[in-house]
Amino acid sequence: TTDSPVENTLRTGPPSAVKNLGGGVNKTYKGVIGGMKAIIKPISGLASQRMREHIRAGADTEHELAAQIINDAMGRPVDMPVVAHRDFGDLEGPDGPIGDAFVSEFKPGENLGNTGGKWDTNDEDTANIGLLDSIIGNQDRHGHNALVVNDDHIIAIDHGLAFPEEN
């Protein structure tokens, strides 16, 4: 992990304003942690069945953390949210106690899937995302797992369906 101020805030900051985000396969909340907007995915809300062959069900948190470590080792060529693992204990979410969860910083941007697929917005970003996805075996890169900022920058989100058990 990066052990950055953002990561430390995600791990230890006081949570508030937790609400359903909606969409996607996994239970996902948006909230505020230590004054910072964040995405929260309770481990108990992860899909219990395999979404892709050779990807272990429920391992999303491990995969998100591992993708961050590899991106860091590469010199952070891909802009992606800082992620952390956290136990919220009995803190109530919209659907009951949140408990053990994956948290990530909220990155503003327009969902690439809603832009008509502007993957050519930034060739360097696209190439770097493709390289990282190839290294980690990401099987879920599509327009709804990328954000466009200011029509010229792409942020990669959601690396949960990576690191296949076999290739």
Which H or E run contains 156?
Answer: strand 153-156
Q: What value does the mean pLDDT of the chain take?
A: 87
Task: State how beta strands 29-33 and 110-111 pair.
Answer: unpaired
Q: Model confidence over 74-127: pLDDT tens digits?
A: 999 999 999 999 999 988 888 889 999 989 999 988 888 887 766 677 889 999
pTM as predicted: 0.84
- For residues 133 and 43, what is the distance between their CA atoms, to the nearest angstrom? 23
Burial 148-160 (b: 16+ CB within 10 A, else e): bbeeeebbbbbbb
**What is the DSSP code (8-state) at residue 70?**
H
Helices (H), ranges, 3-150: 5-12, 60-73, 123-136
Q: What percent of the chain has pLDDT over 90?
A: 50
- For residues 11 and 46, what is the distance between their CA atoms, to the nearest angstrom? 19
Query: What integer is the mean pLDDT of 21-41?
Result: 88
Q: Are 133 and 100 in contact (CB under 8 A)?
A: no
Q: Model confidence over 51-79: pLDDT tens digits?
A: 666 776 667 888 999 999 999 999 999 99
Q: Is residue 25's pLDDT more than 90?
A: no
Which residues does 119 contact at the CB level (< 8 Å), separation at least 6? 112, 126, 143, 146, 154
